[in-house]
Structure 1
Amino acid sequence: MKASRLLQLLLLLQVRQRITTTELAERMEVSRRTVLRDVEALATAGVPVYAERGRNGGIVLLPNARLNASHLEPRELEALSVAGLDSTQLESLGLSAVRESAANKIAARQNTALNHPTMPRLSELVLVDSSPWLAHSNSEVDVAELASALRQRRRLRIQYRRSAEEQPSTLEVDPYGIVAKSGRWYLIADDEGTGRLFALERLSAYETLDAPAALRPDWTLRTLWRVLKEHTEILGSIRVTARLRDNRLDLARRVLGARIDDVSNAENGWCTVAIRYPSLESVRQLLQFGDHIEILTPQEARERIVQLARDLAERHSTPSL
């Protein structure tokens, strides 16, 4: 444990060269006294590090020191191989600590490799956060345990509730792996030879069976995910046109994304948008725009919106109990 802590201390100093004792203690989750003892142990071993006293003091590593402490461990390489996961997802896989360790090693290596030591690293200027706004995971399944079970390449018996069902069904599936998409986890598996997405938030239990997973030849997690993703994001053949207040166009682009097929120039505070849907019932999504939208065509879409609006009005016409 101490050896690991000393390496972490070296990596932090190689990146920053000077850090206060208090900050080091907080980063390493130890006491200031422990930090000072570790610095003394490193100095005794010949590492050019020392403690500076005074108001602007701290722990200092000599600028000319070059420490070869950037070799990555197997678990750290695994953490980097799933780059793009947010902190919550990394925590779910049990990779938060090793990801931070790998990042420190890379930062230490970059610090000595840059031609201009004062130039900021790209990681200081670009931040990637793949988690969705105002969302949290309510999965009953431990993602790290599931990922470990998938390494066995065995068939799974799962308890899964489809979106229109109240109770879960029992299925036996052949898993390819799991995917993190927009802050949600999905199990990607064949169900009777057909690829499917299973949202982990609706997967209540699973069991690893003795039979090996019967995966289709030449299919991988990535190839199957690409096909399923394209099928899920299909725009549809129904083209709905609507008048939309131009100050709601940015919101519409965020909500509808690529479903917006065309936008006309705004006139008198309104613009005309064309939206593609796979079914007429999908127009209920447009109710969230309230009085900022008017459906123009097709007539069936207008009538469906009228029906939905009347139903809402009737539901809210009497006080709630």
Structure 2
Amino acid sequence: MKASRLVSILLLLQTRGRMTAAQLADELEVSVRTVYRDVEALSAAGVPLYGDAGHAGGYRLLDGYRTRLTGLTADEAEALFLAGAPGPAAQLGLGSVLAAAELKVRAALPPELRGHADRISGRFHLDAPGWYAGADETPHLPAVADAVWHSRVLRVLYRRWREPTDVERRLEPYGLVLKAGRWYVVSGPGPRTYRVDQILQLAPADEEFTRPRDFDLAAYWRAYQRDFHDRLYRREAVVRLAPGVSVDRATNHRTEADGWTRATVPIESVDHAHAEFLRLGTGVEVLEPPELREKIALTVAELAERYGNFRTHGGD
């Protein structure tokens, strides 16, 4: 919609300064001609917008001009308050900052959008950790976050899973990631990923580092997760699934005459797959690998023996 696009142009120039018509067109995914028309519309509406010619030219707002957030749509206002994360912010030592920011944004919203924001924050609450996962103790998280923000080197004593378990590391913290209630710090050189709750001791070094300009934290994390899953699920199991039963990551589906589906499932290990498939009860039959099928068969036999007396001496 044109109105939304005009607000976007205004906010882009307000936050980024001078931008060319081509840059605005790329950002908004429209033609340069459309940007020209939109700029004319803004100027006609009284927005102090100026265009400079030449190689270093572009559009800019009059120095000191600011706009209130009246251009927010109802959906955008709701999303803004739904995205608030008071728990993680408090862990980072930013709880009061987040609260102050929300108050300022709410005050800047027009009354009709303020009602939407209040309603969404009163009806949705984000709680990242799982039910059966205890909260990790992360006493060093605020110090790590401060080092991330100020590009300061950290020297830590870190506990890893393999020997030697406790090692000293020099970290150049590029960014923090919260995944399923657990904090990770992505650090150079490398970069490499560390669990913040496994930092045993921390000492800020009197040293700054330069964060790589081309480093994209979100892109790195996506690639890290893909690599993690590729390394984790290196084996495969062939299973038959009862009608209505499905398994994540299953491939090569083939429906058989009895209605069951034969599929291939990546597995981390025989022990892990054993526990996962047992949860499906009679809805799955493992065909391969032989050692997994045998392990499940032995467990089922033990369960049958343990509960066998129930059928003989059970209740009515």
**TM-score, normalised with respect to structure 2:** 0.54
Q: Where in structure 2 are the equivalents of 1:198-217 lying within 5 Å?
A: 198-213=194-209, 215-216=211-212
Alpha-carbon distance, 1:264 to partner:
5.9
Question: Which of residues 150, 153, 159 is equivalent to 1:152?
Answer: 150
Matched, 1:242 2:239: yes
Aligned partners of 1:120, 1:189: CA distance in 2, in Å? 36
Structure 2: unaligned runs, 5 residues or longer = 1-67, 71-78, 307-316
1:89 corresponds to 2:88: yes
Partner amino acid, structure 1, of 2:90: E
Q: What's the offset of the Cα at 1:143?
A: 1.8
Aligned to 1:38: none
Give the Cα separation in 1 of the matches to 2:266 and 2:203.
Answer: 40
AA partner of residue 205 (structure 1)? Q
Counterpart position of 1:7: none
Give the Cα–Cα distance (whole angstroms) in 2 for the partners of residues 148 and 162 of structure 1.
23
Aligned: 1:196 with 2:207: no
Partner of 1:274: 264
Separation in structure 2 between the aligned mates of residue 228 and residue 131 of structure 1, nearest angstrom: 20
Deviations 1:227-261 (A, max 9, x none): 21221233745332223455764xx5xxxx4x333
Alignment check: 8 A CA contact 2:153 2:205 kept? yes
Go from structure 1 to structure 2 and tell me whether the alpha carbon gap of 1:247 and 1:203 turns closer, same or farther (over 3 Å shift).
Answer: farther
Q: Count how many residue pairs are aligned between Structure 1 and Structure 2.
A: 226
The offset of 1:300, in angstroms, is: 4.9
Residue identity opposite 1:87 in structure 2: P
Once the 2 structures are TM-superposed, how far is the Cα of residue 179 of structure 1 from its aligned partner? 0.7
What is the alpha-carbon distance in structure 2 between the residues aligned to residue 87 and residue 119 of structure 1?
Answer: 19
Aligned partner (choices 167, 180, 183) of residue 181 of structure 2:
183
Query: 2: distance between equivalents of 1:172 and 1:144?
Result: 18
Q: 1:143 to 1:84 in 2, by over 3 A?
A: farther
State whether residues 155 and 214 of structure 1, in contact with CA within 8 Å, keep that contact through their aligned partners in structure 2: no
Counterpart for residue 17 of structure 1: none
User: Retained in 2: the 8 A contact 1:132–1:182?
Assistant: yes
Compare relative contact order (CA 8 Å, sep 6+) and give the higher one, 1 or 2.
Answer: 1
Instruction: Return closer, same or farther for 1:212/1:288 CA change in 2, 3 Å cut-off.
Output: farther
Q: In structure 1, how many angstroms separate the alpha carbons of the residues matched to 2:83 and 2:251? A: 29
Q: What is the distance in 1 between the residues matched to 2:240 and 2:83?
A: 38
Q: 1:129 is matched with which residue?
A: 126
Q: CA separation in 2, counterparts of 1:83 and 1:269?
A: 43
In structure 2, relative to structure 1, the CA distance for the partners of 1:82 and 1:113 (3 Å cut) is closer
Match of 2:44 in 1: none
- Helix, strand or coil: the match of 2:139? coil
Give me the whole-angstrom Cα distance separating, in 2, the residues matched to 1:85 and 1:231.
30
In 2, Cα distance between the equivalents of 1:107 and 1:82? 9
The answer for the alignment partner of 2:39 in structure 1 is none
State the percentage of identical aligned residues: 21
Whole-angstrom CA distance in 1 between matches of 2:225 and 2:218:
10
TM-score scaled by structure 1?
Answer: 0.54
3-state SS of the aligned residue for 2:134?
Answer: coil
